[in-house]
Structures are given as C-alpha cells and as structure tokens.
Structure 1
C-alpha cells in the first residue's frame, strides 16, 4: 500500500512576515529559517525581491537568500531542501538570478481590482510582465511557481468568476509554471466552492501541478484543505504560527497555521515530514519576536501525547 503523504510549502518567511507590523532583522529571519529546517520544512519561500518602499518587511531578502544558499552548499541541511523567492517583475527576476536561487514565484490575481491594488497593474499587464521573467527563467534553468490570488472572493469586488479563475490558472500553466497555487487570499471559501473550482481546474491543469493556498480569516481553511485533498491535491501552502496576511486585502488573517495543517493530516495517517512538538515549542519564541499572539491553535495548546515527526 502506497504511503499517504502531502507536501507543505512553508510561507512564514514571506507571506507570513510581509503583513506583520514588526520588521525583523536579517538575523532574526535566519533564526526562523533554521527553526523551520529543524521542524522538517523542506520547501520554504524565504523572501521576495520587491521594493522595500512597498513591502519593508522584505528588505534584506538578498542577504537571507545568500545565507540560505550557503547552507545548502555546505550540505548542513537535508538533501532535497528547496528554497524559493517571490519576484514581481523582470527587475526582481534579475536579482533572483544574481542570488543564485533555482526557484522563483510569480503572482497574478483573478480580480482586476485586487491586481491593481496589489501589483499596480491590470491582469493583462501582469501577464505581459511575466514574459521576460519566464524567458529569463528558461535561459537560467530556474523553476517558476505561479500564484493565483483571490480565486474564491475579492475584498473589493466580492464574488469572482470561477470561469476566470480556471482560464487564468490554465494560462499560468501554459506559460510554463511548474505548479499553480490557487489562493483564497481573504479566507472566504467554503468546501463546496472548493469542490466546484478544483473539479474544473483538474480538467485544464494536471492535479499534480495544483497547490492550495488558504487563509483562515473565517475559520474554514482546514475544511477547505481537506476538500482539496480529497480531490487529489497534495501540495498545500501554510505559515508557521499562522503568521501574516495580505497588506492589500483588508482584514485578511494569516495563512493557515502549519501546525494545524500538520496535526489534521497526522490524525488522518497522512505524512507531512514535520515535527509538531518542535513547532509547538517554537510558538512562544516566535510570539516574542512578532510581539503579538499568533492565531495557531495547535501551537498554543499542544496535543495529548508526543507526536514527533509525521
């Protein structure tokens, strides 16, 4: 019988930190990175090559990336650990190339209003920006992950066309994204909506190339993750402690907590490779760094018995 397992893409260092009021030093971010490696995280988005004027929390991403890649070269971390950075445009991509990283992420929105607020351009203009990024990625043999935000609802427009979500996800796949992360940026999705959208997505993008990115603003993230899992999705974005949110989505809570996702899958007999005990132990330390209580549930209360790596 095949071992049931999922991959958790750890978003705490980028999506998590970008909406926190506290701007952490490069050293503090590297300390978080080391703790994430210790808990078993093997796919980690470590920063973003964006203007610090717009996202000050991401200043110093070049230094974090350099240190992470040095760790990789030194073979002091497990083989197969993958780091990525977010790039908004060609300028960001050139910085990523200079850093030596081998995976980047691009992002589009399924809502025109959110696209304009988030990246200051229309959806069509965002795809124009992707052209030089994808060309450079091909030339330098860099993998590209695609994010599609506001797939289940927009903070400015409300309902988002499901047909548009499907069309844009297909387009990201066609331009060369090896994986497309379908995002509930403001945490409004419900399992029935998740079922409808992912069933349609699977018809235009292979399910092994789909990932799910749920925020827990209204407490439905785990239910939505379970629904996506039952539909064949095996890659999920999560943020340690439930850090962050989105600076351009009013009221959005953080990405679903990595601890909570790992705990649910453990109970189902699905392996994540993550050590929940270590994540729980990390919570007080991280809370002190961020200077406020984190929304994680498992991180606060722990569990009934030691779980170890799952």
Structure 2
C-alpha cells in the first residue's frame, strides 16, 4: 500500500460557490495560482452549471481558460460538469489550452436530497450522466463520480452503506474512474466511516489510489461536528489514499447551517495535511505555500462578508 496520499483542493469551486457576494475572477485565479504552488495533486477549478443556479460560478469559462497560464505538469485540473452543454463549452476551451484533465458528475445516495437538488430521482440523474461520461472519455478526460449524503441526509437522516454502494456501482458501470463519497452534512464519525469503507471495499474492491486503470475511492469530509480529522485517520488505517479538502475550510453544505449560524465547511487543507503527515504518510505539500493559499482564501471570504 502506498504511503502517498492524494489531496484534491476544491476551494475554487465547492469552497466559493455558495458565497452570497460575487467574487471577482481575478481573486479566484489568485487562489488557484496559490494552490498550484502548494503541490496538491488536483484542484477543482469551477463548475459548468447554469449561472441561474450558481451565479458565483458564471465565470467558469474564463476561469478555466486563464487557469491554463498557471498550469503545472504535476497538478490535475478538474471541473464539475453535470450536462452535455457544459461539457461542450469546457471541451472547446480544453482543445485550445489543454487546461482540463478531469470532469466530475454528481448524484446522491438519498432520493429526497437528489429530488430537491436536481428535480429527478437518483437513477434519473445517473441516466442523464451517461452521454456526459461517454463524451468525456472519448475526449481523453478522466471522470469523477460524486456521491453525496454518503453518511446521512439532511432530510432522510442516516443513509445505509448499501444504498451508497448501489449508487457507486451504477457510476462505475458508466465508466467513471473515481468514486468520491461526500459526508454532506458532516455527520460522520470514525465508526460510521469505517462501516461505509468496509462495505465499499467488500462489495466493490479496494481502491488503488495511484493506479488510474482501477477505480479510486476518495473521501469528501465536512467538519460540521469536528470529527473530520478523526475520520481521516480511520480511513487511512483502512486503506483510503485520496481525500478532498478546501483551503481555509471554505464551503460546506448550506443545509448544515441555520439562519443565525454558519456551519463549518469542508475539512481545511492544512488540517488534512497535518492529520495525514502525523499519521506517517506523505502528501508532497509545500507547507509555506499552503499557508499563503490559506491566507488568500480567508481574505477572499472576508471581503465577501
């Protein structure tokens, strides 16, 4: 088992998408450039969704095109692209700039959550992804499949691991390279994470984080209840070697917040790095550069409030 742990920083997309005040493209690119310098394995740059639904990411095309200027051979650039129209836009830019390596599609293990977010069923969302995944693979792009509500749903409560496995198996059958399990409301504990991972590995086989010919299992943890670092340690023990995080802990699920209190977001990248390295694994992260990126991320959000 490899001692290298792969980190994907999702702050430019997941970290910023729900900020209520528009953030300039320049500031987003400043954050992306800082993240490139940290040495993270992957950066999720933006999302090609309708600006009507996510106005904060209406500059997706410009972000993707201009991010090519700060591209490093050692970093994977990805974007959330849930439909054919968005992928066509992204591919037009990729074909000119070679700035995109991977796309992500998303569904959930909860029918209620999926209906509220996509106005269709879980199976319906996966059926919609088939032409997107086919087009991406024909274009030479890797594909990540997000499964939200992998531990619990804000509407349905706890989610059975078997339901998560069912969704993951359907995504793998479509041809995704990676399954990314999201603890959407941060309800996970080391025990519930262990149960989920054991079920996934028992039904779908072990992840091979460095071998992209095999499906890769990634965990996307939110720190709502302060359990994320402990969940990382347990996942490492069980063989997971790929995690998402966000500079300064930006982002998170709005359903975990209240009208008067904003819940903590994604596990912070510096917290994730520290947890992994204290457990004896290697991240390849430049700590000084990560401190700079964290400062920039905090400043961007402070300006937006």
TM-score scaled to structure 2, two decimals?
A: 0.89
Separation of aligned partners in 1, 2:199 and 2:7: 23
CA deviation profile, 1:209-251 (whole Å, cap 9, x unmatched): 1111100000001111111111101000000000011345555
- The answer to whether the aligner puts 1:256 opposite 2:250 as a matched pair is no
Separation of aligned partners in 1, 2:67 and 2:120: 32
Separation of aligned partners in 2, 1:253 and 1:120: 27
SS in structure 1 opposite 2:26?
Answer: helix
- The answer to whether the aligner puts 1:122 opposite 2:116 as a matched pair is no
Structure 1 unaligned runs (5+)?
Answer: 295-310
Q: Conserved in 1, the CA contact under 8 Å of 2:36 and 2:70?
A: no
- The answer to whether the aligner puts 1:216 opposite 2:210 as a matched pair is no
The equivalent residue for 1:280 is: 291
CA deviation profile, 1:24-54 (whole Å, cap 9, x unmatched): 1111100001111122223100000001111
Shift of 1:268: 2.4
TM-score scaled to structure 1, two decimals?
A: 0.87
- The answer to whether the aligner puts 1:83 opposite 2:94 as a matched pair is no
Which runs of structure 2 are paired with 1:192-207 in the superposition (5 Å)? 192-203=191-202, 204-207=204-207
Which runs of structure 2 are paired with 1:157-196 in the superposition (5 Å)? 157-196=156-195
Structure 2 unaligned runs (5+)?
Answer: 95-99, 209-215
Which runs of structure 2 are paired with 1:89-104 in the superposition (5 Å)? 89-100=83-94, 101-104=100-103
CA deviation profile, 1:127-180 (whole Å, cap 9, x unmatched): 111111022123212211110000100001112122111111111112111010
The equivalent residue for 1:305 is: none
Separation of aligned partners in 1, 2:252 and 2:52: 18
CA spacing shift, 1:293–1:51, aligned 2, 3 Å: closer
Q: Conserved in 2, the CA contact under 8 Å of 1:155 and 1:250?
A: no
Separation of aligned partners in 1, 2:44 and 2:9: 6
The equivalent residue for 2:241 is: 234
Q: Conserved in 1, the CA contact under 8 Å of 2:6 and 2:243?
A: yes
RMSD: 2.0
Q: How many residues align?
A: 288
Shift of 1:5: 1.7
Q: Conserved in 1, the CA contact under 8 Å of 2:232 and 2:275?
A: no
Shift of 1:82: 0.8
